[in-house]
Amino acid sequence: MRLVIARCSVDYAGRLTAHLPSAPRLILVKADGSVSIHADDRAYKPLNWMSPPCSLKEGDGNVWTVENKGGEKLIITLEEVMHDSSHELGVDPGLIKDGVEAHLQELLADRIETLGEGYSLIRREYPTAIGPVDILCRDADGQTVAVEIKRRGEIDGVEQLTRYLELLNRDPHLAPVKGIFAAQEIKPQARVLATDRGIGCVVLDYDGLRGIEDDKLRLF
């Protein structure tokens, strides 16, 4: 990971245009190719970003151009660099889910038809280069579906699923892969972002799924 703290301005050119005027900011360049620009507020949310696959070109005059395969560009003009360092973080072990999320994954995998009639399971914890997808399955039409499961569905979960989808769709044996964001509760902002990215949302009834589990164990 490369960390750059610099006074810079940022211009986005794509489906829309946006401009960040000159100010001190943190620029993160990650090993997966993503580039994000952060201010000293907004918690974890970047001011602007480009998701992989994309390319970074450092041109003359301290101008960086980040471009994705769709031709969208982030143009970062560096006026003063205060810090520039790179760090090898290695392979992340991934998020360890709490008991409820782990059980939700187990229950949903066992009752994958909860997502829709004709769904079939491929496997749980499907491995990718950036961590395992909770559930990989197929819908009634045979299309591959990646499912990310949370107790509380927020924007970071949608971003996580988006990164998985970008990787999975590079595999010709799986593509096209669509996504489902499944949680006990989905925040309105997360639902809006998921819808904008073509990701389906499913609210899971944990007690209901556990009830189905209990019914399966009954002999009467």
**CATH at residue 45:** 2.70.180.20
The string of DSSP letters for 163-184 reads: HHHHHHTT-TTT-SEEEEEEEE
More confident residue, 162 or 215: 162
The whole-number average pLDDT for the span 21-32 is 94
The whole-number average pLDDT for the span 139-145 is 96
Q: What is the pLDDT of residue 210?
A: 77
The whole-number average pLDDT for the span 127-144 is 93
Residues ≥6 apart with Cβ < 8 Å to 103: 206, 210
CATH number, residue 183: 3.40.1350.10
Same domain, 148 and 81: no
Strands (E), the chain: 2-13, 17-29, 35-38, 48-50, 54-59, 63-68, 73-86, 120-126, 133-138, 144-153, 177-186, 200-203
Say if CB 35 and CB 26 are below 8 A apart.
no
Other beta carbons less than 10 A from residue 16's beta carbon: 7
Same domain, 50 and 129: no
Say if CB 46 and CB 63 are below 8 A apart.
no
Burial environment of residue 208 by CB neighbours within 10 A (0 to 12, 13 to 18, 19 or more): exposed
Give the rounded percent of residues in the chain with a pLDDT score beyond 90: 69
61: pLDDT strictly greater than 60: yes
220: pLDDT strictly greater than 50: no
Looking at 86, 111, 145, the residue that finishes a domain is 86
The whole-number average pLDDT for the span 23-49 is 91
Q: Average pLDDT of the chain?
A: 89
Q: What is the pLDDT of residues 159-179, one digit of tens each?
A: 999 999 999 999 999 999 999
Same domain, 65 and 108: no
Same domain, 51 and 120: no
pTM: predicted TM-score of the whole model, two decimal places: 0.56
Q: Answer whether residue 92 is part of any domain.
A: no
Structural domain total, the chain: 2
Q: What is the pLDDT of residue 99?
A: 55
Q: What is the pLDDT of residue 97?
A: 54
Q: Answer whether residue 117 is part of any domain.
A: yes
Say if CB 102 and CB 208 are below 8 A apart.
no
Q: What is the pLDDT of residues 94-124, one digit of tens each?
A: 655 555 788 888 999 999 999 999 999 999 9
Q: β-strands 177-186, 144-153: how paired?
A: parallel
The whole-number average pLDDT for the span 190-194 is 95
Full domain range(s) for residue 107: 100-210
The whole-number average pLDDT for the span 181-197 is 94
Q: What is the pLDDT of residue 98?
A: 52
More confident residue, 89 or 4: 4
